[in-house]
Amino acid sequence: MEVKDEKKSPYPVLTQIECKACGRCIISCPKGCLEMSKEINQRGYHYVVYTGTGCTGCANCFYSCPEPNAIEVHIPKKD
Amino acid sequence: MAEKIIGRLSGLYKEFPRKGGTAPTATHYCPGCGHGILHKLIGEAMGDLEIADRTIVISPVGCSVFAYYYFNCGNIQVAHGRAPAVATGISRAEDNAVVISYQGDGDLASIGLNETLQAANRGEKLAVFFVNNTIYGMTGGQMAPTTLIGEKTTTCPTGRDPRFSGYPIHMCELINNLKAPVFIERVAISDIKNIRKARRAVRKALEIQRDGKGYAFVEVLSNCPTNLKQDSQESIDFINNVMTKEFPLGNLRDNSEEAESFKRSVSDFSIDSINGLYDLKNDSSPDAINDPEFGDVQVKVAGFGGQGVLSMGLILARAACKDSRHVSWYPSYGPEQRGGTSNCSVMISGELVGSPVVHSPDVLIAMNRPSLEKFADDVEPGGVIIYDSVASDFKFKQGVKAVAVPARQLAAKGGSERAANTVMLGVLKTLGCTKLSDEVFYQAIADNFAAKPKLIDLNHKILDQAAKWTKENIK
The answer to whether the Cβ–Cβ distance between B37 and A63 falls below 8 Å is yes
Q: Among B29, B231, B236, select the one facing A66 at the smallest CB separation.
A: B29
CA distances from B428 to A16, B365, B396, B421 (A): 82, 9, 19, 10
Quick one: closest CA in B to A16, which residue? B26
Q: How far apart are CA B349 and CA B204, in angstroms?
A: 56
Report which of A26, A65, A25 is spatially closest to residue B34, judged by C-alpha positions.
Answer: A65
DSSP assignments along B56-91, one per residue:
EEEE-SSGGGGGGGTBSSEEEE--TT-HHHHHHHHH
Could you read off the pLDDT of B135-166 as tens digits, one per residue? 999 999 999 999 999 999 999 999 999 999 99
Per-residue pLDDT at B242 exceeds 80: yes
CB < 8 Å to B41, chain A: 63
Q: How far apart are CA B73 and CA B166, in angstroms?
A: 39
The residue of A4, A15, A64 whose CB has the most chain B CBs within 10 angstroms, and thus the best one to mutate to test that interface, is A64
CB < 8 Å to A63, chain B: 37, 40-41, 192, 195-196, 199
Report which of B25, B22, B28 is spatially closest to residue B12, judged by C-alpha positions.
Answer: B25
Nearest-neighbour CA in chain B from A24: distance (Å): 6
Nearest-neighbour CA in chain B from A50: distance (Å): 16
Work out the average pLDDT over B284-302: 90
Could you read off the pLDDT of B434-444 as tens digits, one per residue? 999 999 999 99
Write the single-letter amino acid at B312.
Answer: M
Contacts of the segment B278-286: beta carbons below 8 A, 24+ positions apart: B284/B447, B285/B321, B286/B321, B286/B322, B286/B324
- In this structure, the dihedral spanned by the alpha carbons of residues B33, B39, B42 and B45, taken in order and rounded to 10 degrees, is -100
Q: CA neighbours within 13 Å on the CB side: how many for B472?
A: 7
pLDDT at position B284 is 66
Could you read off the pLDDT of B353-364 as tens digits, one per residue? 999 999 999 999
CATH topology of domain A2-74: Alpha-Beta Plaits (3.30.70)
The residues, any chain, with a CB within 8 Å of residue B153's CB and separated by 6 or more, are B135, B136, B141, B142, B143, B144, B147, B160, B227
User: Measured at the alpha carbon of residue B53, what is the angle toward residues B50 and B54, in degrees to the nearest 5?
Assistant: 95
Q: What average pLDDT does the structure give for chain B? A: 93
Nearest-neighbour CA in chain A from B329: distance (Å): 55
Work out the average pLDDT over A46-69: 97
The answer to whether the Cβ–Cβ distance between A67 and B3 falls below 8 Å is no
Confidence of residue B332 (pLDDT cuts 50, 70, 90): confident
CATH topology of domain B287-473: Pyruvate-ferredoxin Oxidoreductase; domain 3 (3.40.920)
pLDDT at position B1 is 65
pLDDT at position B35 is 97
Q: How far apart are CA A39 and CA B443, in angstroms?
A: 88
pLDDT at position B57 is 98
The answer to whether the Cβ–Cβ distance between A7 and B1 falls below 8 Å is yes
CB < 8 Å to A7, chain B: 1
The answer to whether the Cβ–Cβ distance between A22 and B225 falls below 8 Å is yes
The residue of A5, A24, A55, A78 whose CB has the most chain B CBs within 10 angstroms, and thus the best one to mutate to test that interface, is A24
Per-residue pLDDT at B283 exceeds 70: no
Containing H/E element for B417? none
Strands (E) in B133-243, as ranges, are 135-136, 142-143, 183-188, 215-221
Quick one: closest CA in B to A7, which residue? B1
pLDDT-wise least confident of A12-16, B250-254, B394-398: B394-398
pLDDT at position B203 is 98
Could you read off the pLDDT of B98-134 as tens digits, one per residue? 999 999 999 999 999 999 999 999 999 999 999 999 9
pLDDT at position A1 is 39
The residue of B4, B133, B239 whose CB has the most chain A CBs within 10 angstroms, and thus the best one to mutate to test that interface, is B4
Q: Among B3, B36, B199, select the one facing A66 at the smallest CB separation.
A: B36
pLDDT at position A4 is 47
pLDDT at position B276 is 82
Per-residue pLDDT at B350 exceeds 60: yes
| Contact (CB, 8 A) for B350 and B291 | yes
The answer to whether the Cβ–Cβ distance between A69 and B232 falls below 8 Å is no
Backbone angles phi, psi at B407, to 5 degrees: -65, -45
* Pairing, β B215-221 against β B183-188: parallel
For residues A66-75, one letter each, b for 16 or more C-beta atoms within 10 angstroms of the residue's C-beta and e for the rest, the string is: bbbbbbbbbb
Of the two residues B201 and B19, the one the predictor is more confident about is: B201
Q: Where are the domains of chain A?
A: 2-74
Quick one: closest CA in B to A68, which residue? B40
Per-residue pLDDT at B282 exceeds 80: no
Could you read off the pLDDT of B188-197 as tens digits, one per residue? 999 999 999 9
Per-residue pLDDT at B264 exceeds 90: no
| Contact (CB, 8 A) for A28 and A61 | yes
Confidence of residue A8 (pLDDT cuts 50, 70, 90): confident
pLDDT-wise least confident of B68-82, B217-231, B323-337, B430-444: B323-337
Q: What percentage of residues in chain B have a pLDDT greater than 70?
A: 97
A59 touches chain B (CB under 8 A): yes
- Report whether CATH 3.40.50.970 matches the domain B17-254: yes
CB atoms within 10 A of CB B96: 8
Q: Where are the domains of chain B?
A: 17-254, 287-473
A31 touches chain B (CB under 8 A): no
CB atoms within 10 A of CB B236: 24
CA distances from B9 to A28, B43, B71 (A): 20, 6, 10
Per-residue pLDDT at A6 exceeds 60: no
CB < 8 Å to B7, chain A: 13, 62, 71-73
Report which of B330, B337, B342 is spatially closest to residue B367, judged by C-alpha positions.
Answer: B342
Sheet of strand B401-405, all strands in order from the earlier edge strand to the far edge: B326-333, B341-349, B296-304, B363-366, B384-388, B401-405
Q: Among A27, A66, A76, select the one facing B37 at the smallest CB separation.
A: A66
The answer to whether the Cβ–Cβ distance between B195 and A72 falls below 8 Å is no
Q: Indicate the pTM of the whole model.
A: 0.73
User: Measured at the alpha carbon of residue B289, what is the angle toward residues B285 and B290, in degrees to the nearest 5?
Assistant: 145
The answer to whether the Cβ–Cβ distance between A59 and B6 falls below 8 Å is yes
Per-residue pLDDT at B266 exceeds 50: yes
Per-residue pLDDT at B392 exceeds 70: yes
The residue of B6, B66, B191 whose CB has the most chain A CBs within 10 angstroms, and thus the best one to mutate to test that interface, is B6
Q: How far apart are CA B220 and CA B313, in angstroms?
A: 55
pLDDT at position A2 is 41
**Cα B354 from chain centre:** 21
Q: How far apart are CA B257 and CA B437, in angstroms?
A: 65
